[in-house]
Structure 1
Amino acid sequence: MNEHIQQMIDWIERHLKHDFSLDALSNYMGYSPYYCSFKFHQAAGISIRRYVLLRRLYLSTEHLANGQKILDIALEFRYSSQEAYSRAFKLIFGISPSEFQRKPMPVQSFIKLTVNKDKGWCEMNIAKKIEVEQLQLKNSECFDQDVLHLLNGQVMYEEFKDNKLMGNADYAPFNEAMCVHATTKQVFSQAFIAARASGHHDSVENYISKVIDPLHPLFHKPYKCIVLWFGEDMFCQMNLLTMLAYLEQSGYAGRVFMFSFREDEFKVSETELTLGRYAAVYEEVLIRHQKPSSDLLPIMYQAANLYLDMLHERHAVVKYISSHKDLPTSELLIKLFERFPSIGYGDTQYLELIHKARAEHS
């Protein structure tokens, strides 16, 4: 069946700049429209039409960045008007195409879906080293003394440390998963530590050892610049939002850079951030579970919407797990990592959902 799904994907990709027709796809595949739609959703975790929408809009950002006329882009990607394209663009990215064109900003990648893809770790490690070296040449001040690099998680921290990628700067990991469990308004307060430890079913002492102690440089040393290395997925962006909220709450006055990336490509997008809104957004999204009222970078806007969607009892991941619950756990985990890269959950979060889904159906 995977071969048939890939054939559907390849056909869709060839026709992204044509008027999409489920009937035409079904005629090409030799199956009914319902069967094609059902099997695609089952394998990909989203509908065909959603896939087409996200692929078209993501590809259109490249045209915007190259200065192409917005009307021409709208027509090229089969929108009925510039207004229709602009509405769809803002719904997904939180800003208008004209705003993006004036100042291109990081967005979540939505690359072509490939069934059963494989990527060598050796190849990725080399790509990361080359990418970081290029960043050092372009922006050496971010790799100097009096600079702290905050990395999303212990694995990334150790990888950067072992390869000595940070130049003369300091670095520390943020070992959290802020997209799950309750939090508190004041980041890293005693109440925060107690709430997070409880959510992770851990003791306060262990939580301090794993999360707080590794951040010692952030708490005890002044820095002229802080560089935040966080992936573009929802998991990483909610961690990033938490760290930005802390920087505001602590009165940090230096420069802040976000180096965002997609794990399986590791093409880093560098953006200098201005503090002032993130503590309020953190409270709205992660505490009150409301959509942010402030303008955000598209990548964080998309992540906030994904986070709020994941709070619903029957979100896309739960539905996917329910339809594949009979697969061996190890195989199901691989499929979840492949199908939902924009969410960014780790095995711990997915295993909780798998066990819950199986318990409900037992």
Structure 2
Amino acid sequence: MEEAIKNLQEKMEARYKDHILHVLNGFHMLQRFKTNNLMKENQTYVPFNEAMCWGEADTKIFSDCFIEKRVKSLKTTEAEYRRIVIESLKPLLKEKFDSIVLWFGDDMFCQINLITILAYLEQSGYKGDVLFCMVLERSEEIVSDAFKIEVEGYLDIYKAVIYNHEMPALKMLPVTYQAIKMYLNYRTEESPIMKYIRDNFEKEHLVNDLLRRFPEYGLGDLQYQTIIEDIRK
């Protein structure tokens, strides 16, 4: 995958202006870029250290009310949330960039994070080029070309999906549409995750089993443990 990432960055350097920001889906992806020397010296890289598919959020992204709701949903403190999420995103929130490249996976977890960043770009009035580089999480590969995305409409998608928990009637990438369907369903009684947990409640390593069985959701061990505990109540 590293070679494919290098090739993608070379293509983008040839076509887009120099002042480029790369937003990566989380700290682990940022570490992978650092470890494999995938970071260009003249470009900026930031992680989006969130799990937007978990819990509630406000319509005004990264506002004080948004932070308050995310802190409650993630069971953390405001100081920790600001340090881990907001400080890491400071270049996105404070600086101006000609182009923004979004490196996110094709699973539900990553796609809901992607919607949030696209909605924020529309909310903030961003007018530059936005590119989406899609990681195929289950095969550890990356799509060979970036998708150019128009941010207009993503704030309405974000509000419908993450705030109102409804399917939006707006055009979007097929992978995003499928992720939204999974997001709106995964905590319901009809969810394959919920059914599997109920059918295998006594399994000794149920969390590890869920991680292997449902990679398309992108959920982590803490999320699965919480779902299991909620069912047990």
Identify whether the pair has TM-score above 0.5, normalized to the shorter chain: yes
> What is the match of residue 309 of structure 1?
185
User: Residues 136 and 142 of structure 1 are in contact (CA less than 8 Å); yes or no, is this contact kept in structure 2?
Assistant: no
User: Residues 58 and 163 of structure 2 are in contact (CA less than 8 Å); yes or no, is this contact kept in structure 1?
Assistant: yes
Structure 1 residue 152: Cα displacement = 0.6
> What is the match of residue 187 of structure 1?
61
Q: In 1, Cα distance between the equivalents of 2:14 and 2:186?
A: 38
Q: Which has the higher contact order (CA 8 A, sep 6+)?
A: 2
Write out aligned runs for 1:66-85 (5 A): none
Deviation digits for residues 202-247 of structure 1 (CA, Å, limit 9, x no counterpart): 1111110111000011112111110001100111100000000000
- Size of the aligned set, in residue pairs, is 230
Q: In 2, Cα distance between the equivalents of 1:219 and 1:311?
A: 32
Deviation digits for residues 271-294 of structure 1 (CA, Å, limit 9, x no counterpart): 010121100010011111111111
User: Residues 259 and 271 of structure 1 are in contact (CA less than 8 Å); yes or no, is this contact kept in structure 2?
Assistant: yes
Deviation digits for residues 313-335 of structure 1 (CA, Å, limit 9, x no counterpart): 4421111112222222xx32232
> What is the match of residue 164 of structure 2?
288
> What is the match of residue 214 of structure 1?
88
In structure 1, give the amino acid aligned to 2:20.
Answer: V
Q: In 1, Cα distance between the equivalents of 2:7 and 2:117?
A: 26
* Structure 2 residue 21 is the aligned partner of structure 1 residue 148: yes
> What is the match of residue 132 of structure 1?
5
TM-score by length of 2: 0.93
SS at match of 1:342: helix
Segments of 5+ residues of structure 1 without an aligned counterpart are 1-127
Q: In 1, Cα distance between the equivalents of 2:52 and 2:93?
A: 19
Q: In 2, Cα distance between the equivalents of 1:143 and 1:169?
A: 12
User: Residues 188 and 194 of structure 2 are in contact (CA less than 8 Å); yes or no, is this contact kept in structure 1?
Assistant: no
In structure 1, give the amino acid aligned to 2:182.
Answer: L
Name the Cα RMSD after superposition.
1.7
Larger Rg: 1
The structure with the greater share of residues assigned to strand is 2
* Structure 2 residue 174 is the aligned partner of structure 1 residue 298: yes
SS at match of 1:215: helix
Residues 141/196 of structure 1: CA separation in 2 closer, same or farther (3 Å cut): farther
> What is the match of residue 31 of structure 2?
158
Structure 1 residue 142: Cα displacement = 7.5
* Structure 2 residue 124 is the aligned partner of structure 1 residue 242: no
After the TM superposition, which of the residue ranges 221-230 and 348-357 deviates more from structure 2?
A: 348-357
SS at match of 2:7: helix
* Structure 2 residue 227 is the aligned partner of structure 1 residue 350: no
> What is the match of residue 128 of structure 2?
254
> What is the match of residue 51 of structure 2?
177
In structure 1, give the amino acid aligned to 2:34.
Answer: K
After the TM superposition, which of the residue ranges 261-270 and 271-280 deviates more from structure 2?
A: 261-270
In structure 2, give the amino acid aligned to 1:271.
Answer: F
SS at match of 1:149: strand
1:325 to 201, 226, 230: 201
Structure 1 residue 194: Cα displacement = 0.5
Segments of 5+ residues of structure 2 without an aligned counterpart are none
Q: In 2, Cα distance between the equivalents of 1:140 and 1:265?
A: 26
User: Residues 136 and 143 of structure 1 are in contact (CA less than 8 Å); yes or no, is this contact kept in structure 2?
Assistant: no
The structure with the greater share of residues assigned to helix is 1
Structure 1 residue 141: Cα displacement = 4.4
> What is the match of residue 101 of structure 2?
227
Write out aligned runs for 1:17-32 (5 A): none
Q: In 2, Cα distance between the equivalents of 1:321 and 1:192?
A: 31
